[in-house]
Amino acid sequence: MALVGFLTEAIFNVQQRTLESFNSHTLSIAVTGESGSGKSSLINAMRGLRAGDEGAAGSGMLDTMTEPMAYLDPVLPGVTLWDLPGVGSPYFPLDTFFEQHNLSQYEFFIIVGFQRFRFEHARLACEIQRMGKRFYFVRSKADADLDASRRQRPSSYNEERILEQIREDCRRGLAAEGVGHPQVFVVSSWEPNRYDFPLLRQTLQTELLHLKRHAFLLSLPAVALPIINQKKAALKVEIWKIALFSCLLAAVPVPGLSHLCTFFVFRKHLFGYYSNFGVDNRSLLALARQVGRPLWELMAVMTSLGTTPMMALKLLLDSVGAAMMVAEYSWKRLPVFGALVSGGVALVTTFFMLRKCLDSVADNTQRVLSKALEVERENAI
């Protein structure tokens, strides 16, 4: 099966799968945010626990962790909630937080903030977006804000208006850093039946299939890379034989034969590489149709050598043409020695140029795959 055939099928399978078929896949959700923002309390509330219950995450002003802790979500299948140490604490300053915790291992994020929107939140959101991942922004301790408001201005107190102001403050803060359309929930972990807490749970449940698909798609290039490399290694073994064959043909004293041979050898194998990796026109067209994008968009990422086998062939022949002419010239002057030179030139050029082509086609395959998945990722969310 052609490689992109395999990939097109993989993408198709992801599109068609139901939540049940994804249940065996786990989703690691990192709950992150500044120290004391209420991360552990949020996880406890999501698991229907209170601080101090058996199995609950440690919470409290003095209960700071230094290692991520994993908690299984009792309702959402295959979801692990990771309680991360607080950002910006003396142990984990913001600048080194990302390297210290290798955020790329998590598939989805919940950023927990309290009080005013801060720069740290935006930095976290930008870093998550840079990795091509998604997050919800949870503004915790809504009860404390409402309580303060009620005490300060009892006559004009309006719960819904205050909640909306808090949501708006978070959205504005994120938008200022270029984060468009963030999902913001204003919650209190002490009152999980109120404010946006039920909506947060419901949204997570509804989006779980999308999130799992998204996580699966993100992992595809890593899955495909060994297959591409395997295919490349297998084809590389054959290059010696092809080079030897073209060396023998080039040594035959017939004018123009070495040029002709090189042309046919390159043409046959180049076309083979393109179709074998699935980046020939027909496979690309099928892939473009499947991801719903024009063909040129996928082809635009194919930078090395040529986007079609014919273009690559022309480039190759141009670059080996001069070497072939020298070989043929010496062959005409000194028949025996010339035949050796001619054969040697054919051997070396065929070997190195075909290797270069193969590397380039494999590289193009990886690029096309990433582009196709990028499109799919956009569609998945």
Ligand X SMILES: Nc1nc2c(ncn2[C@@H]2O[C@H](COP(=O)(O)OP(=O)(O)OP(=O)(O)O)[C@@H](O)[C@H]2O)c(=O)[nH]1
Q: Which residues bind Mg ion (CB under 5 A)?
A: 40
Taking CB positions, which residue lies at the least distance from Mg ion? 40
Min CB(131)–Mg ion separation in Å = 23
> Longest Cα pair distance anywhere in the chain, in angstroms?
107
Q: For the chain, what percentages of helix, strand and coil (3-state, to nearest 5) are there?
A: 65, 10, 30
Instruction: Give whichever of 81 and 302 is closer to ligand X, judged by the CB atom.
Output: 81
Q: Cβ–Cβ contacts within 10 Å for residue 321, how many?
A: 12
To which residue do tokens 């020695």 refer? 337
Q: Which of 71, 86, 184, 320 binds ligand X (CB under 6 A)?
A: 86
Q: Which of 22, 30, 36, 345 binds ligand X (CB under 6 A)?
A: 36
Instruction: Give whichever of 15 and 64 is closer to ligand X, judged by the CB atom.
Output: 64
To which residue do tokens 């149709």 refer? 289
Check: CB of residue 235 under 8 Å from CB of residue 276. Answer: yes
Token readout for 266 is: 């390159």
Q: Which of 39, 139, 371, 377 binds ligand X (CB under 6 A)?
A: 39
| Site track 181-220 with ligand X (rule: CB under 6 A), x = hit | -------xxx------------------------------
Interacting residues with ligand X between 64 and 83 (CB under 6 A)? 64-65
Min CB(14)–ligand X separation in Å = 34
Q: Measured at the alpha carbon of residue 345, what is the angle toward residues 344 and 347, in degrees to the nearest 5?
A: 65
Count CA within 13 A, CB hemisphere, residue 70. 9
User: Binding to ligand X by residue 60, rule CB under 6 A?
Assistant: yes
Min CB(56)–ligand X separation in Å = 10
User: Binding to ligand X by residue 347, rule CB under 6 A?
Assistant: no
By a kind-dependent CB cut-off of 5 to 8 A, residue 360 interacts, out of ligand X, Mg ion, none, with none
Asked whether the CA dihedral 130, 136, 137, 141 is positive or negative, the reply is negative
Token readout for 320 is: 């080996």
Check: CB of residue 59 under 8 Å from CB of residue 40. Answer: yes
Instruction: Give whichever of 40 and 129 is closer to Mg ion, judged by the CB atom.
Output: 40
What does the chain come to in residues? Answer: 381
User: Binding to ligand X by residue 371, rule CB under 6 A?
Assistant: no
User: Where on the chain is the footprint of ligand X (CB under 6 A)?
Assistant: 35-41, 59-61, 63-65, 86, 140-141, 143-144, 188-190
